[in-house]
Structure 1
Amino acid sequence: MANGSITVYVNGEKTETAQVEKLYNSSYEPNCTLKTLFRPGDHIRLEATAEDGLYRAGCEVEIPQPIGESIHVDTLRTLLRASYGMKDCMQYKITIHDRPDEKNYYRLIIEENAYRISSEDGIKYGPFPSYPEIINQEDIVLTDGHLTTADDEEFGILDMTVQNLNNVFTDGRFENGSYTLKVYTSVPSMSGFNKKDHLLLDVTVRVLSISQPYYRYLRAMNCLDSDDYNETFMEPVIVPQNVSGGLGFIGTSSEQQVTLRMIDQPPL
């Protein structure tokens, strides 16, 4: 999008017009950074132009309200049965409290951020973010009641269940109450970093409140991104869109998060 811009309106008032920046790295990639601070409950309208106004598109979204109470996270290093034996994993038990008296939609994200404090100059570098795969096969909410095991990958040939790759869920099984998600990831590691540096790694567990259209969009992407989706036997995927004058989807979220220090390794 050359010569493009995005104008932002919050609750009917214009807050900024941001111009497209030309970033050159391995490939040309246009980028537009917004400075407006959004708050839960805000109604947002975005109007985009390209080629000096020749092309125009827009969308309207609302920032959801976050979970009212803090989430609680317990961790345990354990073994989980995988296709080829037992796998060393980190288990997370994440307790959340549903927003009362309304239908709610959520997404779980686990983010790892690595840092290194250089042994040469003492400067702290990072974060270096990564997103480990979340194994949700044992959780009734994240699998929508379709619990699985490692054996299902080998023997579940006719299984019509698509994995919840985006880890989205509703409060349908714990409405107005609390629930503890149980998921797994690989064990956090600092492999690849210089062991002579002071190495740190934080894990941030994030529970996002999202809108129903955003939930439906991510459910559709579960199908399109999954190796389990079978076009022959399953219903066609309808991908929601909320952009007028163009194609695509813009989603918003609010979140509660907990950050845990998982590795604090002094220089060796």
Structure 2
Amino acid sequence: MINKYTFPFLLLLLLSISSCENEIPFDKEANPPKLVMNALINADSINNILYLNKTGQDVISDVMEASVEVRVNDVLVETPKALPIPTDGDFISFQKRFLITTKFHPGDKVRIDAKTGDGAHHAWAEVTVPQPPMPIERVDTATVMVNEYDNYYTERLRYRITFSDRPGETNYYRLVLERHSTIHANITSRPEVLDTVLTRQDFRMLSREDVVLTDGHPTLSGNDSDLFEQAENIYGVFDDSRFSGQSYTMTVYSSASDDWPYLFPSHDITQKIRDCYVRLLSISETDYQYFKALNLIDSDVYDETIMEPIVFASNVHGGVGIVSISTETSVKINLVDEKYDEW
């Protein structure tokens, strides 16, 4: 017998069954794996890595066997071999990596093809190597106090970098502050270790005060309202729309301290060296859009629950990913070079 309490329950059950029947299941046959091809290539380097994976329903999957061909101006110049899988460290990656040793030149038309060993996947990308940026004209550094947030100031190293835009064309750039820190030490507590060298790299920079790097929305403090409305330019990409064909001085900051790890007593240190390579890269519009998407997804601004999904730019045909070839100009600055004979 159905009473007044049973009927609503049956109706709810019926609606639940109907809604389940209307769900669209994930169809693996309709969404087959695609080849993922990624590479950030420096045209002047002979040490560039191409990475291969396959897409998956939840996570990317490994490529077991693959071959790669590199062509310049329609001529086959290299067939890179897969690098050995690293066996050191706690985490072992089976990701396929190929070493590309060809040195490219501005104006070269570069095509890279990747094929899986079973012949099921073939992806390729074609890139024209951009013209290099104009030489960096000047880099001025100074140690200043910066308002991090709520009038809390910290000491930072300020860089003012002056360069000119290449005239008569639309240009896209990326600024990289590549800092190398090195410690030389004699560990007195371990006589068997006569000399120890510790090195580290740091690419972090603060760019919120620069008009170009913030796309016209500079801020002076970490808690300014504008900072919550736009993504931080983590990857330092920009175009020339605000200084086309002109000279521009860009302002960025890095940490002022060495951040040396305290792995041994200070009296064991014999030398400290810190260098900064100020690198200005010329990139393509596709690279520019790709890094802008990375800026958004790596920032605190993006909320996937209320925002549209991020679409990454890709220049890979028959697959997904980005193959970037950049040219650059750079300046090396020695920030610290201190020797300690006695403590």
**Aligned partners of 1:208, 1:126: CA distance in 2, in Å?**
28
User: What are the ranges of 5 or more consecutive residues in structure 2 without an aligned counterpart?
Assistant: 1-62, 187-192
C-alpha distance 95-156 of structure 1, shift in aligned 2 (>3 A) = closer
Indicate how the Cα distance of structure 1 residues 190 and 235 shifts in structure 2: closer, same or farther if over 3 A, else same.
closer
Partner of 1:27: 92
Distance 1:63 1:188 in 2: 37
- Aligned AA (1:130): D
- Paired residue for 1:97, among 139, 164, 167? 164
Q: How many residues align?
A: 264
**Aligned twin of 1:83:** 149
Matched-pair contact (CA < 8 Å) for 1:60–1:242? yes
C-alpha separation in 2, matches of 1:3 and 1:232: 38
CA contact (8 A) 2:149 2:223 kept: no
Q: Is the 8 A contact 1:22 1:28 kept in 2?
A: no
Is 2:121 aligned against 1:55?
A: yes
- Give 2:73's aligned residue: 11
2: CA distance, partners of 1:111 / 1:187: 14
Q: Which residue of 2 aligns with 1:266?
A: 339
Which amino acid in structure 1 is aligned with residue 164 of structure 2? Answer: H
Q: Is 1:148 the equivalent of 2:215?
A: no
Deviations 1:39-65 (A, max 9, x none): 121111001122354422111111111
Q: Distance in 2 between matches of 1:109 and 1:141?
A: 15
Aligned equivalents of 1:245 and 1:89: distance in 2?
46
Native 8 Å contact 2:68 2:115 kept in 1: yes
* Alpha-carbon contact 1:42-1:63 (below 8 Å) kept: yes
Partner of 2:110: 44
What corresponds to 2:134 in structure 1? 68
1:129 matched to which residue of 2?
201
Does residue 1:257 correspond to 2:323, yes or no? Answer: no
Contact map agreement 2:206 2:252 (CA 8 A) in 1: yes
One-letter amino acid of the counterpart of residue 94, structure 1: I
Residues 200-235 of structure 1 show CA distances to partners (whole Å, capped at 9, x for unaligned) of: 111111111111111111112222221112457756
Q: Retained in 2: the 8 A contact 1:61–1:251?
A: yes
Could you say if the C-alpha distance between residues 38 and 126 of structure 1 is closer, same or farther in structure 2, counting changes exceeding 3 Å? farther
Partner residue of 2:182 out of 98, 115, 138: 115
- Give the corresponding residue for 2:243: 174
TM alignment of 1:194-205, pairs within 5 A: 195=266, 196-205=269-278
Separation (CA, whole Å) in 2 of partners of 1:44 and 1:151: 42
Deviates more, 1:185-194 or 1:161-170: 185-194
| Cα separation, 2, equivalents of 1:3 and 1:265 | 49
- The separation in 2 between residues aligned to 1:209 and 1:203, in whole angstroms, is 19
Aligned partners of 1:151 and 1:16: how far apart in 2?
A: 48
1:142-192 deviations in Å (ceiling 9; x for gaps): 111111132635x569x5322222211111111111000011111140512
SS in structure 2 opposite 1:213? helix
Q: Say whether 1:215 aligns with 2:288.
A: yes
Separation in structure 1 between the aligned mates of residue 259 and residue 270 of structure 2, nearest angstrom = 11
The 10-residue stretch of structure 1 (247-256 or 66-75) with the greater mean CA deviation from structure 2 = 66-75
Question: Is the counterpart of residue 238 in structure 1 residue 305 in structure 2?
Answer: no
In 2: Cα distance, 1:14 partner to 1:59 partner: 14
Among all aligned residue pairs of Structure 1 and Structure 2, give the percentage whose two residues are the same amino acid. Answer: 33
Larger Rg, first or second structure (1 or 2):
2
Distance 1:199 1:73 in 2: 22
**TM-score, normalised to structure 1's length?**
0.89
User: Quick check: 2:135–2:330 contact (8 Å CA) kept in 1?
Assistant: no
